[in-house]
Structure 1
Amino acid sequence: MENAESILEKLTKYKLYDKLDKNDYNTSDCEYCRLVNSILTKHKGASELCCRFAKNLIRLPTILNKESNSNERCRYFNFWINYSISKIISTYDTGTYNINQILTRFLQVHNLIKSQNKHNNCEFEYNRENDLKLWNEWKDLYDYIRNYDGIKDIINSDGNLCKLYSDYFTYITNVYQEYKNKCCYNNVYSLCPYSLNFKEWCNMDKIYTKFPCSENKATVATFQEHNTDLSMKGTHEDVMLHSTSASTLEHNNLASGDATTNNTDIYSKLGISLSFFGLLSTFLYLYNFTSFGTWIRSNILKKKINVNLDDDRQNGMAHELNNDDEKLYNVAYNII
């Protein structure tokens, strides 16, 4: 269901499917598929899927090491392979006979691995009465149950997801009711895989309770889930952002170093000029508006008066000396 994917894609337990989707298989994994490739190669991607199928079955505890329950790991494996096969055949006009041909080829690979005791006690559940549509509905129900608390939190943090949740909830309640009719009331074990303990969900009526949420609530930038995967990712991104900012700042400081050096002389001269004008302004203020100015003016005026008096005395003395010289000249002239 499209709405389900939008709501579940950020949740840690749902992201375990990504580990099963990885193409990190090797030649020995693909060797188990060699005898069935004549059928699988008719459908694009089926041979590669078979290699992943073998790899995941053999190394299931390691690949899903974050899930400690072996029964849950096997459920993940079965839902993953049936969903993956349904995606491949959805691009073809494939009848029921051909679909069962593909499914039985994967069953052959499983039995070969099991014969070597490498299947980790996980059975590939195949029943020709169960179509892939029913498996996908069971997967949707399983994903809702596994991510129950995470769904409740994330739709409360994002109004857009809250809008999608209403249709998602209606779909899940319908699937759950159908599941109860087939696996709980009638005990049709041929339809409900016994080894996966499908009856475990028969009394989980909390599924019928719809979570409250606000469609008008703005999207939260970061979603804090019960698990730590998302918070670890957020921490990593914060560290990367801090490192990038620090690097950029260092680069800018180096780039501006030469310009700072070239401007040093200008700033020094400007500082001296400003200091001079500051002193001049202070002096003018003191001169015009304080007693300091009055004292300066009185002393300068007094000095000026004294200087003028001295000049007058000197002029008078010079005049008297000139008169004396004239008198002496006249006396000398008369004597002659």
Structure 2
Amino acid sequence: MASGYNVLQTSDLFSEKFYNDMNIEYDDLSNYKQQCDTLILSEKNKNEVKEICKKYLRYLDKNKTAWNVVNPKYDVCILLNYWIYYKLAYYFGLNNTDDINKAFGSFQYLWSYSMSPLNITLYSEKCKPNFELVKYHDWQKRKELYDYCVNYDSIKLTVEYYKPECQKYYKYIEEKSSIYDHFEELCNSGGSDCPHFYNNCKDYNPKIVLSKLACHGDMEAEKSRAIAEASRQDQGIESHSHGSDVAGLAASSEPEETPQTSEIGKKVANSVLGVAPVLLTATALYRYTPIGSWIRNLSGNTINSISGMGEGEIEEFLPSSHESGDMLFGDTQNYISYQPM
């Protein structure tokens, strides 16, 4: 996706605005201290849990009209429950479900004591902590699904009347595809684990709504261009890699002189030079000294065939430098040409 698209700010979404407001440190939170001190808690993160309690009670106290809406589009109590559980998971750690559930359960006893000074008992009955929402291992996915459902109507209106916003919301909707895949499989099996609000969210499935957005054609075209560009880049990398391999092969085909091969060459040359004087000396002794005469007398006619050797014949008699090397080192030429990898 092109980097020029505006990034969606989570504060633009209703669910995030709700959670952000719940996290505000209001000056009047101390008004709810007395009631939250009645919570039965372990010492672990006790103060943090009480702060969550204060913010929860404050919302019930300050937003009484939220419970008077007839046929509301969304249930604020579900958002409150997910906010409480999420905050507890934040403090205790996602894997510490026992601690989270104990703290969450303690909120259910808030209404066992008189709350007349706060005058919110009536509204508290409409939104108590609900274990049925958070008892599942995939509670985070359930929260994400409900948040999206709450947000969709406002997104739809924004996109219809302010089309430049379409591209940034398109990506947000598209990212929810995996959530719907998860719950489609779960709910279509007919099990009891399907969220009770799933049917209200089915119509917002990205598979259904993305094609209806005004920017759908542009986004799909941009996606195709991005795929084509990535493919071209991959081909360029492969081509460059292949070219480098061929160049490396060509360079390595030439024997490279190394200190080892240079030293071996010197040994061969010295050996050849060492053999030549010995052979020349033997020939001179044979031809021009009494020793030679003695040998000739012993060998008879066979030696006579050698006695007439001229200069060229002596050269022919001597082995070549290459043959001398073979005589001394056997198959040395193969050893010299070996190049270690």
TM-score by length of 1: 0.46
Max Rg structure = 1
